[in-house]
Chains A and B, each alone.
Chain A
Amino acid sequence: MLHAELPICATLKIHMPKEEKTIVVSELSKKFTFPVKTEGTGWLKNLLRPEIRHVRAVDAISFSVTKGERVAFIGPNGAGKSTTIKMLTSILFPTSGTIRVLGLDPTTDRKKLAYKIGTVFGQRSQLFPNLPITDSLEFFGVMYDMTDIQIRKRVIELAELFELNSFADQPVRKLSLGQRMRAEVAASLMHRPEVIFLDEPTIGLDVIAKKSLRDLLVKINNEEQTTIFLTSHDVGDIESLCNRTIIINKGILVKDLPTQELTRTFVYEKYIDLVPPVAFETFPELPDGIRYATKGKNKITTIVDLDRISVRDALKALLDIFEVEDVDVYNTDLETVIRHIYEAD
């Protein structure tokens, strides 16, 4: 019986679809060198033989991304995330280590790779400011060697998907930031890239524009299987868009795990809401490890430091102090979790 099953398992193994690696990064490092003026040294020496300072922006990081994944690559300012994204997109050359994006080496196959990837840099525009968005889309179509028919078809498709039609005839400089960012993403998708790299795409957008952009990216990911690699300081981008989070700090890869597990794995605090039967009159001092987040007559929110006190003991202590009608215990938000990870490193 066992023998009879073995070939089936083997066959299954052979036909199992192998996870396609879109990005493979191994031991990647980037060192920047720059001259610095030395105080008390002559200007001629500073000019001819300046002191050279080295900064290791990225330090031997390794990770891989599978086709269709939505990855958040996050870290505090100066962590090395933008440097990494720029090495993945052929803009910067690594000091050491290897990168493969869609099987290509960004350092040697820049142009070939550019046909397969899209980039959006939130703080920089790639559109022609004085012309309507359709001119920029057509221009990118030509840049990516698409035929005129393909360009026309894709412009219609993207205009519908990104709801660009209402402002398609206005010069880009007259668009709102939200409209412009939608147009930026549409432009980067003109050639149907397999991977799209987004560097802070929602920076400066209002909540509605952010949601609209996130929804569009998820849609593109679902419909066209576009791999999304994103850096952002906005927790909302990570929570609602990315199923995996990689955290980098001081050039070193700190964490790499599913986004959902972030809050579960790195819970340092819990929140406890207390609702009174009528109203809270006094707000006495709380036991060690518990502090007030908000004090209100109708609701008190406390923060429990799990390193110092358990939820069970905290709850017991709070119920001894206050007369309550309802209690709610919940996790810290993702932003707090990420802040703790940054600070701990």
Chain B
Amino acid sequence: MKQTRLAQKIIRTQFKDRIYYPSRLVVDTIRVIARCGILLILYSYVFELNNGTINGVSYVTAAWSMFFYFAFSVLVLRHISQAIMEDVRRGTVEILFSKPISYLSYRMAFQVGKGLYSFLVIGVSGALVLALLVGFPVTATSMIFIPTMIVTFVLGVILSLLLYSIIGLLAFWIEDINPIFWTVDKAVMILGGSYLPVALFPTYVYALALYSPFGATQFITHTVYHTWQTEWYFKIGMQVFWVIALGAIVHIVFQRAKQKVSVNGG
């Protein structure tokens, strides 16, 4: 009960913090328009060259898949790695360790709150714009679409937070986590379908996207494909598996990290 109230308060406070800083929303919007918008224009051209369909996938489906990736990325969950690293580097970890909270839960709620405002604004407005421009994918009319999309979105959020927390926690051992962060982040970007829609992946890359935690964080991008109708339970199951596995790893790593705390100076 206390945990939920605290998580809500953190998210609300961060939400408010973002509203105080409207420039951040502008930056996020420009970033999404620049990256997602340009890719959508390019893919529109490529799909047109191929009579509107590639590998059985229509442009509308590919566009929505890519939009889901970019909308999800606005949550900036991956920045939890840097937040943990900064806590360790600056010593602010000591402030949080002396409070009656779970450090990681606090950081996770904080991260969700940080990106929520931009996500809601860009997600809703972007979805409306995309619907007006290209229409809805056929799969969106399916009964399971909305409930499974919500489940896979929530699991994707948890999985992303766990995955990037592990990288962040490495800061307790190594000074600079950025090279590891960069490698993992690029794996998530590629396997999540930011450059190429997942349906157009070669078989072995698709297998990587399917069975690795990097790809599993972005299963939201799979929900618009017709294969989702038959594979959703497998993919959600895969996400649950990775949540349990990474949750256990985070727990073990954090227990060891706590012993490594050495804050210099007063």
Partner of B95, one of A32, A112, A126: A126
Partner of A92, one of B20, B21, B261: B261
Contacts of A85 in B (CB 8 A): 266
Say if the beta carbon of A142 comes within 8 Å of chain B. yes
Residue of A nearest to B18 (CB): A130
Say if the beta carbon of B98 comes within 8 Å of chain A. yes
Instruction: Mark out the residues of chain A between 70 and 105 whose CB falls within 8 Å of any chain B CB in the assembled complex.
Output: 77, 81-82, 85-86, 89-93
Instruction: Mark out the residues of chain A between 102 and 156 whose CB falls within 8 Å of any chain B CB in the assembled complex.
Output: 110-112, 114-115, 117, 119, 121-124, 126, 128, 130-131, 135, 138-139, 142-145
A142 touches B91 (CB 8 A): no
B95 touches A145 (CB 8 A): no
Instruction: Mark out the residues of chain B between 11 and 26 whose CB falls within 8 Å of any chain A CB in the assembled complex.
Output: 13, 16-17, 20-21
Say if the beta carbon of B35 comes within 8 Å of chain A. no
B13 touches A131 (CB 8 A): yes
Contacts of A138 in B (CB 8 A): 9
Task: Please report the C-alpha to C-alpha distance between residue A122 and residue B266 in the assembled complex, in whole angstroms.
Answer: 8
Minimum Cβ distance to chain B for residue A32 (Å): 6
Instruction: Mark out the residues of chain B between 28 and 56 whose CB falls within 8 Å of any chain A CB in the assembled complex.
Output: none
Partner of A130, one of B21, B91, B94, B98: B21
Residue of A nearest to B100 (CB): A114
Contacts of A231 in B (CB 8 A): 266
Partner of B20, one of A82, A89, A115, A130: A130
Say if the beta carbon of B262 comes within 8 Å of chain A. yes
Contacts of A59 in B (CB 8 A): none
Minimum Cβ distance to chain B for residue A242 (Å): 16
Minimum Cβ distance to chain B for residue A79 (Å): 10
Contacts of B92 in A (CB 8 A): 124
Partner of B100, one of A82, A111, A128: A111
Instruction: Mark out the residues of chain A between 301 and 326 whose CB falls within 8 Å of any chain B CB in the assembled complex.
Output: none
Minimum Cβ distance to chain A for residue B97 (Å): 5
Chain A: residues with Cβ within 8 Å of the partner, total of 37
Residue of B nearest to A135 (CB): B13
Minimum Cβ distance to chain B for residue A339 (Å): 18
Task: Please report the C-alpha to C-alpha distance between residue A171 and residue B17 in the assembled complex, in whole angstroms.
Answer: 10
Partner of B6, one of A89, A91, A128, A143: A143
B17 touches A82 (CB 8 A): no
Say if the beta carbon of B101 comes within 8 Å of chain A. yes
Minimum Cβ distance to chain A for residue B119 (Å): 18
Q: What secondary structure prevails in chain B residues at the interface with A?
A: helix
Contacts of B252 in A (CB 8 A): none
B100 touches A200 (CB 8 A): no
Say if the beta carbon of B202 comes within 8 Å of chain A. no
Contacts of A128 in B (CB 8 A): 13, 17
A92 touches B100 (CB 8 A): no
Say if the beta carbon of A199 comes within 8 Å of chain B. yes
Task: Please report the C-alpha to C-alpha distance between residue A233 and residue B91 in the assembled complex, in whole angstroms.
Answer: 20
Partner of B261, one of A77, A91, A142: A91
Contacts of B141 in A (CB 8 A): none
Task: Please report the C-alpha to C-alpha distance between residue A124 and residue B88 in the assembled complex, in whole angstroms.
Answer: 13
Residue of B nearest to A92 (CB): B261
Residue of B nearest to A57 (CB): B262
Question: Residues 236-266 of chain B: 1 if any A CB is under 8 Å from the residue's CB, otherwise 0?
Answer: 0000000000000000000000110111111
Q: Which of A77, A91, A119 has the most CB of B within 10 A?
A: A91
A145 touches B2 (CB 8 A): yes
Task: Please report the C-alpha to C-alpha distance between residue A200 and residue B266 in the assembled complex, in whole angstroms.
Answer: 7
Minimum Cβ distance to chain A for residue B153 (Å): 26
Minimum Cβ distance to chain A for residue B87 (Å): 10
Task: Please report the C-alpha to C-alpha distance between residue A143 and residue B2 in the assembled complex, in whole angstroms.
Answer: 8
Instruction: Mark out the residues of chain B between 204 and 257 whose CB falls within 8 Å of any chain A CB in the assembled complex.
Output: none
Known: A121-B94, A124-B90, A128-B17. A86 touches B6 (CB 8 A): no
Partner of B98, one of A82, A114, A135, A200: A114
Contacts of B266 in A (CB 8 A): 81-82, 85, 121-123, 199-200, 231
Task: Please report the C-alpha to C-alpha distance between residue A135 and residue B250 in the assembled complex, in whole angstroms.
Answer: 31
The 5 A-B pairs of least Cβ separation, nearest first, read A82-B266, A114-B100, A142-B9, A199-B266, A89-B98
| 16 contacts across the A-B interface (CB closer than 8 A) | A82-B264, A82-B266, A85-B266, A86-B94, A90-B97, A90-B98, A111-B100, A114-B98, A114-B99, A114-B100, A114-B101, A115-B100, A117-B98, A119-B98, A130-B21, A135-B13
